[in-house]
A and B are shown apart, each in its own frame.
Chain A
Amino acid sequence: MIDELEEIAQREQEAARQFPHTINVCVAAGCLSNRGDKVLEALQGEVKARGLEGRCRARGVGCMGLCCQGPLVAVVSGGRPTMYQTVTPEDAPALVDSLEGEPVRRLLLPTDQPFFSRQTKIVLENSGAIDPERIEDYVAAGGYSSLFKVLAMMSPTEVIDEVHRSGLRGRGGAGYPTGLKWSTVAKASGENKFVICNADEGDPGAFMDRSVLESDPHRVLEGMAIAAYAVGAKYGYIYVRAEYPLAIKRLEKALRQANQMGALGRRVGRMTFDFSVDLRLGAGAFVCGEETALIASIEGKRGQPRARPPYPAERGLWGHSTLINNVETFANIPSIIRHGGAWLASIGTEKSKGTKVFALAGRIKNTGLIEVPMGIRLRDIIYDIGGGVVGDGRFKAVQTGGPSGGCIPAPFLDMPVDYESLAEVVSIMGSGGMIVLDDTSSMVDVARYFMEFSMSESCGKCVPCRVGTVQMHGLLTKIARGEGTAGDVALLEELSDMVRNTSLCGLGIAAPNPVLSTLKHFRNEYDALLKG
């Protein structure tokens, strides 16, 4: 099977060499909404009209990162890419002219700027470089070779050891060591085990998973298959938000292709390993990102969490041992197998290894998707890569971890970005949303905003979360209106403590975080709003 993969890869590379020029157009959601599809059509039409089909191909690719400058186009000639920004369909003739001449200066996007040069791409290595709707493109980039290497040459224990060695921690937010999770599921008894990919990216301000699924869906499937082999599972589910239609469409296509090629399904790679994957659509409930709620939802029930232990590793889907990892976690796996766990462990900090994908948004110049080594300073992300605050605004805080996270103020900008450091300043790594706030935002309003979110998303099962979030939201609204008293702030703190310590699941436990972090770092803003 590995030979067959190499054959496909060689065929693809040879076919690519036939074309001296390739025009890559981003067709991920961000650029699509800026008419990226029309740009692609116009370029394909222009190439055809000039009879250049034999020398140039124009194709859709995944996310290139700098969403705010879309639609993005990369013209690759002789292996060297020239990037263009804010391209319109009307620019197609000029871009095709440039194939044999000078670049189109007015559209040039310099790639030597820090936004590109300071990134380290592992999870996103194929994003923007391959056509996400063709499995052959993924194979040509080395795809599925890790899976077949694992099946042919490694025992499940060796795979888990490799993941252990990499130091990879769950990218969904909590940062639980992936190798440890895998070995717990591998050791669990029972014939039927399940692997679930959590693609219920519900944090407002986070779009990493969506982008990975839209840009490189096969990478996630390969990671899941390797995990299934390691833990001994035959069935897998991807639980994806219904709000991501493009990601769903590309996943469905990828699943069909992988089954057809024998990378999924029965007797994968003609070995004795069976693994089939099904898609399950979420239905707009943030709490379903919590693993036991997600399992309930796949079982067709209301997405309400249950007490742990037992953890899903012991009793998960339909009572069977279940491995649940996030999209980005699975997307790391093929690279860990290809380059070795020690390689990933050489990137990052002592306790946080590898890279992290962040969605940069808010009041920042360069909005989009980035992947950086763990341990990078916040300042480097916001000022170097992000280009600083937009307009004349002054940086106030960066919000990480969404409704479960906190706001980090300017004095901590030189802090390294890793799981422990973020927790120290009352925030969390979270899934990767990073929203920059400037002096136009009131921090009390930000806390109220997140509390409103947690309140409306509380599933209602346990009292502290159901009632506590409503009470806290009421207090925050009162304070934001200038009607609060010092007693209200004290009550808010007391409630934060209670909700945090007595809620059933992560939603309630983390719901007070935005309040606690703004109280810690921006208490003056609360005080300024108090009566009398």
Chain B
Amino acid sequence: MPVISGSVAPPTDDKRWRLVDGAMRRCGYRASALIEVLHAAQSAFGFLDKDSLRYVARALRAPLSAVYGVATFYHYFAMKPPGEHTCVVCTGTACHVNGAQKLLAAVKERFGLAPGETSADGQISLLQAHCVGSCGLAPVAVLDRELLGRLSADRLADRLSGWRRAS
């Protein structure tokens, strides 16, 4: 039976906790809704930190180890804060055979970033995805939610430099 919680207070008075609370309330504080709640926390804060995991564990009355286990199992959940901008290079099969590695090499060469890394100034995070499902336009990358198809290394580098200049 769902336990009606609410006795656990958020770690800070940051208003974004309300989004997490809302997600937990909607699913009746059931531990089975853990993944939904982690999605809500990540979309509120951009990533999952220890505070989030502890708070969610207590509110859902789930062991912290289980919450940590789930958060680290799924690739979609980030445990580090993302940069100001994110560049996701697709490395799906169609992109792979159409030069995705060249895109990654260009970002490495010009910005010194490997997948999973964020630039020292916190401006750019580079990620790779195992297929974003836009294979017809390969190779593709997703820049701050905007999908760019038939991408060349130069065009990608230009866009990333644009982020730098704008900051």
Binding site for B on A (CB under 8 A): 29-30, 32-34, 67-68, 70, 201-207, 210, 242-244, 280-286, 297-304, 359-363, 367-369, 399, 402, 433, 435, 437, 440-441, 446, 449-450, 453, 456-457, 459
Contacts and interface: CB of A to CB of B under 8 A. Distances in A.
Contact of A284 (B75, B94, B140): B75
Contacts of A207: 131, 133-136
Contacts of A437: 97
B134 A205 contact: no
Contacts of A34: 137, 149
Contacts of B66: 301
A33 B93 contact: no
B129 interface: yes
A201 to B, nearest CB: 7
A302 B140 CA distance: 30
Nearest to B66: A301
B38 A449 contact: no
Nearest to B145: A245
Contact of B93 (A29, A205, A297, A456): A205
Interface string B123-149: 000000111111111101000001111
A229 B150 CA distance: 45
B76 interface: yes
B94 A361 contact: yes
Contacts of B146: 33
B39 interface: yes
Given A205-B93, A281-B39, A362-B93, 20 more contacts: A29-B134, A30-B149, A33-B140, A33-B146, A204-B94, A205-B131, A206-B131, A281-B35, A283-B74, A284-B75, A284-B77, A301-B66, A302-B73, A361-B135, A362-B135, A368-B136, A435-B94, A441-B97, A446-B97, A457-B130
Contact of A244 (B73, B97, B133, B135): B133
27 contacts: A30-B149, A32-B147, A33-B146, A34-B137, A34-B149, A67-B137, A204-B96, A204-B130, A205-B92, A207-B135, A210-B133, A283-B75, A285-B73, A285-B75, A297-B35, A299-B32, A300-B33, A301-B70, A360-B136, A362-B93, A363-B97, A402-B93, A435-B93, A441-B97, A446-B97, A449-B93, A456-B130
Contacts of A285: 73-75
B136 A367 contact: yes
Contacts of B96: 204, 449
A367 B149 CA distance: 13
B89 interface: no
B131 A204 contact: yes
Give the most central of B74, B97, B134, B146: most A CB within 10 Å: B97
Contacts of A402: 93
Given A299-B32, A435-B93, A243 B132 contact: yes
Nearest to B72: A302
B31 interface: yes
B36 interface: yes
B5 interface: no
Contacts of A281: 35-36, 39
Interface of B: 30-36, 38-39, 66, 69-70, 73-77, 91-94, 96-98, 129-138, 140, 146-149
A215 to B, nearest CB: 13
B154 to A, nearest CB: 19
A202 B134 contact: no
Nearest to A449: B96
Contact of A33 (B38, B39, B75, B148): B148
A402 B133 CA distance: 13
A126 to B, nearest CB: 20
Contact of B137 (A33, A282, A304): A33
Given A280-B36, A299-B32, A359 B135 contact: yes
Nearest to A359: B135
B98 A30 contact: no
B143 to A, nearest CB: 11
B45 to A, nearest CB: 16
Contacts of A363: 97-98
Contacts of B97: 362-363, 435, 437, 440-441, 446
Given A280-B35, A361-B135, A303 B73 contact: yes
A367 B135 contact: yes
A33 B147 contact: yes
B53 to A, nearest CB: 14
Contact of A286 (B32, B91, B130, B137): B130
Given A33-B137, A300-B32, A362 B94 contact: yes
Contacts of A301: 34, 66, 70
A163 B130 CA distance: 34
Contacts of B36: 280-281, 300
Given A283-B74, A300-B33, A201 B94 contact: no
B98 A362 contact: yes
A270 to B, nearest CB: 29
Given A204-B92, A441-B97, A242 B133 contact: no
Contacts of B33: 300
Given A33-B148, A281-B36, A283-B38, A399 B93 contact: yes
Nearest to A438: B97
Give the most central of B69, B137, B138, B146: most A CB within 10 Å: B137
B130 A29 contact: no
B39 A67 contact: no
Contacts of A304: 73
